[in-house]
Amino acid sequence: MDLLWETTGWLGAVAILGAYLAVSMGWLKTERRFQTANLLGACAFIINGIFHEAWPSVVTNIAWFLISTVALFRMRSTEHSMNSAIDNSHVQFPGTLDTTGQLAVIEVLTRNVPGDIDGQGPGK
């Protein structure tokens, strides 16, 4: 059983240090995978710390776990709000004309002014 707790601690170290290395080298951004590796590594360190009764390490890794958890929830809520913003965007259906802003463009291109009959401008 001692081997299980030691292996858990070493896997936690590999997860946290590997994630930190990947972010520091630019191989990974501080996104879900980074925060998930931190969360799992902290859990492994908590288990190992409890086994060894290393309470400062346990408390530190509980904080590490909570920070990663909050970051993952914030990422989830940001993704959710971005998806709902995309879903609420303007949809152009096939076969229907999109008249948004076309009149202003036509007026500039043809130099037509409202009330101008011959296209020569007012008073010409």
Q: How confident is the model over 85-100, as pLDDT tens digits? A: 555 555 655 666 666 5
pLDDT tens for residues 51-72? 999 999 999 999 999 999 999 9
Q: Which residues contact 82 (CB under 8 A, 6 or more apart)?
A: none
Q: What pLDDT does residue 15 have?
A: 94
Radius of gyration over alpha carbons of the chain, in Å?
A: 30
Confidence band, pLDDT 50/70/90 cuts, at residue 77: confident
Rounded to whole angstroms, the Cα distance separating 25 from 35 reads: 16
